[in-house]
Amino acid sequence: MGDLFSQHTPKAMLITGAAGFIGSRLANLALMRGYSVRTLTRSNWNGSPAVPADQRSFGILPERIPPQALQGVDVVVHCAAYVETDEAQATAVNVEGTKRLAQMALEAGVKTFIFLSSQSAKPDALSAYGKTKYRAEQALLTQEGLNVIILRPGLVTGSGSRGLFQRMSGMVDRLPMLPLLGGGKSIVQPIHVDDLCEAIFRSDERASEFKNRILSLGHPQGISLADFLQTIAVARLGRRRPVVSVPLWPAQLGAGFAETLGISLPINTGNLKALKVVEKMETEADMAELNLTLRPLEQMVSDDESADEQPGSGVPILLVGAGRIGLVHALTISRLDGASLGGIVDPNARAKGLLQGMGLSARMFDSLDEGLAGTSARAVVIATPPSTHLRLARTCLERGLPVMIEKPLAVQESQLSEYELLAQEFPAVPVFAGYVMPRNPQVSGPLEQLRAGQLGRVRGFVGVTLLSLIQEKDSKRWEVNQSISGGGALINSGGHVLSMIHTAFGEPISVEGQSLKLYSSEVEDSIVLNLTYDGFKGTHYCSWSINGHARQENRLVIFTDAGELILTGSVGVFVSKNGEVDIDHQVDFDVGFNLAPDYAGAGFTNELKVLRDAALTENHSSTNLEDALQLERLIFTSYKNSVETKSFKPDGDSFSSAPSESLKFGGSGVPGNVKQAGRILDLRDSSAAEIAAHWERPETHERWGEYLIAPAQFAKLSRSSSRSVPDQNLRITVPDFLNQSRLLSTGRFVEVLKQMGVGGVAKAIRETGPTLARERSLNFWVAATGMLASALHSVPVDFRGTLLLHTYLTDLALTLRQVGKLQRMLAMCRRLRPQARIGFHTNQAAEALEAMQMISEPVDEVSALTSPRALHIPEIFAELRRMDKTGKMRLTAEVGLAPAIVHQVAYDAAQEWTHGADALLIGTGADAFLAEQRRMWFDQEWSKVFPGLSVPNSAL
């Protein structure tokens, strides 16, 4: 009999707004009670609640409710609501959306519909929220065929609150004196979120009994706002706060003015209106019918997070280091399935402030000890300067925490033995090293084929590491301090390519090198290594002082008797002797959330998955650490076997690259009914002079339909008389984010201001005012708004071409689920340049599709990274077409960052990349004239950092 009962079908509960405070907690508790939980939300989420992916549906009230969300559902709990002051929006979501959801639930055979209303729901409510909640209640009570139950909770409390209670708690934490609106006489009737969830479960259990009932829930006697705030203060701080009485009318006036400017304040006019007419609810009888007893007031307001710990939120990972690479880890962890960002440690307040200002919601700590004491971390990422790695690793291992350490592990060769001793001392706790390139599927897969002999016998290789990082003397960066960094370009930048070489071939027979100091006094800025293996040799060129590489170029080219294998952060390419090109791209692989599919993002995801899994199992391998220590021994050997020089001496070995004139894509072909796509040339890496010369060539406009440029290029071309291309054929990426953010990160503020110009700076100041007031700090999004405004200043008001938000701004907003930020940036472009087509670049097409369901601002263009075998791109593009109400939106596929060979074959096989898009964005490698111009420019830059050496063909 027990087996019989254990196999019954669990009751299916659909929760709307399950990513919110109440909905999330309800979903977790429902899962623990054995419900089959389904969710309907505006967007996806990571971590808690741990609802299976196939049970999540996405839509927007009132119209976009997918019918499949309600199939097989027994009970709907409607938590989603619009809480702002716009009455039209509140009516659409809270009234019409609720009515439509209830009707669809009835048609789907749902039995019970539980509606979370509000204490403020009244026919004469002054706030849009209270007024529309009341109207929704009345509509539901006339709905036949459903067990409708309406719950009116008071102020919902609990750790993790994102509403009024959170704002009250934040006020108590931050302000030395508490402002009591209206003297603090208003009555508050709090209820803890867990007690509210219990009321929901009991309502469901007795649904027929409570049909068409309105149940009021909250502290029976109520408590004044003044006493409630003091209760929070005592519970959280151990003492009362001084108070000051604030009349309601000036507060309401100020809040109304802020809302007019689009500024978000801790309390809005709706909250203030509700305070004027708040009345005590009679809750005792309703809670008695539910047999519901509330927890004591002190527990309701306690900041004890353990009391509200949400199951299923994933492995908490503590991040140590909030710098450039720390940001990548923070973003990836925050979206990694089965993991959560437990906290961030960094003594630098500015670094932590940057992450907080971007929208990362994680607890911040000044030291590792504080972070470990203040979180329940089960794994740690160390992304600090290398001199701190060994000490921090020991602290983590002593606490039994798996740790992933960014490269390099050591700053001295003697420390490698200390790591070995550490592994022996803590054999059950794994240590991983952050050599990310071999973890990328477009790298690991081809290397496995190479080692298996499937790509021919190796003849030799060329590795290239190029970065624009150290380009002036007396740099203050820690990387040039040998005691902190361990060395220069090789150990800090070259390890990525060297890790691919080491993974492919193992230990070399010998290694010799030459190094050059251009700007640094303690470490090398350029280095060339010659590595000898059994039967072949190779060379690794590495410099962090070359122009034109704001983002590091990591490339390994392996020559075999069957062809040429090219490995980069985005693609793995094999060019056979007959010119056939086979391409593996990051977007071809499902690794879960991928922050940067054009730049080793899959590798970061994969290494963090390994760390997450290590926290869940006792079966650990030390292989990764052993490989990393071998690689770092090779780095220190390379330093010992290198001589400093003023001019490099060529080694003499060279390899011929694949012939570009006979290249052909090795794909399987596309269906014959796919429409012909246009071709857009990406000119953002070319100079204005090169672009002007290119446009004067007669064959240019036959080969290319449109052109993509940067704002500064447009301004220079417009000042000259050589711009022969009409606006309609131009696309401009705004702002020049990668270049300007790099300059800002290295302290070159004057350079950025010069680029902006006087007019651009003035425009930036004018446009950032409302954003600064809304964000309440000079944070990342304020700076981004200023960059965007300055970039738009370079474009005439009557511009009729296309303006596209920079990929990084789009993708950061998508990653952080800051769709509102994305919409505001699009709206700014529309407002300031009303005749232009407005859109965005993105490397995250699936995330963009999800966001498009929430963006009310019209989008004229979506330009997304693709590949011939990109997962889900055809379906995503088709859905974007379906969603386009105007019929005017265009889709562009992007080849993205890839070797010139990829762009060359993409031009001839455009349909393989577009998947039904209108056009394909291709780089200058596919244009013979500009490729030659690029080669000439690159020769000059190469000679500055590798004097005496010619450019190997494989470096381009």
Reported as half-sphere exposure (CB side, CA atoms, 13 A), residue 190 has a value of 27
pLDDT at position 822: 93
pLDDT at position 611: 95
Q: CA distances (Å), 768 to each of 175, 244, 452, 461, 724, in order? A: 26, 32, 57, 50, 34
Report yes or no: 470 and 520 within 8 Å, Cβ to Cβ.
yes
What's the full length of the chain, in residues? 956
Alpha helices by DSSP H, 641-736? 688-695, 700-703, 711-719
CA dihedral of residues 900, 904, 910, 913 (deg, nearest 10): -30
Q: Please tell me the distance from the alpha carbon of residue 683 to that of residue 923, in angstroms, as a whole number.
A: 7
Omega cis (within 30) before 650:
no
Q: Please tell me the distance from the alpha carbon of residue 340 to that of residue 355, in angstroms, as a whole number.
A: 16
417 contacts: CB under 8 Å, gap ≥ 6: none
Q: Please tell me the distance from the alpha carbon of residue 751 to that of residue 758, in angstroms, as a whole number.
A: 13
Low-confidence ranges of the chain (pLDDT < 70): 1-8, 46-47, 162, 181-184, 246-278, 303-313, 618-623, 652-661, 667-675, 720-723, 742-749, 771, 773-777, 956
Beta strands (DSSP E) in 28-144 are 36-41, 56-58, 75-78, 112-116
Q: Please tell me the distance from the alpha carbon of residue 682 to that of residue 332, in angstroms, as a whole number.
A: 28
Q: Please tell me the distance from the alpha carbon of residue 329 to that of residue 327, in angstroms, as a whole number.
A: 5
Report pLDDT digits (tens) over 622-666. 668 999 999 999 999 999 999 999 999 997 666 666 665 678 887
Beta bridge partners of 156: 191
Determine phi and psi for 511, rounding to 5 degrees: -145, 135
Single-letter amino acid, residue 936: M
Q: Please tell me the distance from the alpha carbon of residue 692 to that of residue 705, in angstroms, as a whole number.
A: 16
Torsion sign (Cα): 924, 925, 928, 929: positive
Q: Are strands 243-246 and 178-181 parallel, antiparallel or unpaired?
A: parallel
Query: Which residue, 625, 250, 285, is CA-closest to 421?
Result: 625
Coil, strand or helix at 51? coil
Please give the distance of CA 570 from its chain centroid, rounded to a whole number: 17
Torsion sign (Cα): 73, 75, 78, 79: negative
CA angle 417, 420, 422 (to 5 degrees): 110
Beta strands (DSSP E) in 735-859 are 802-805, 837-842
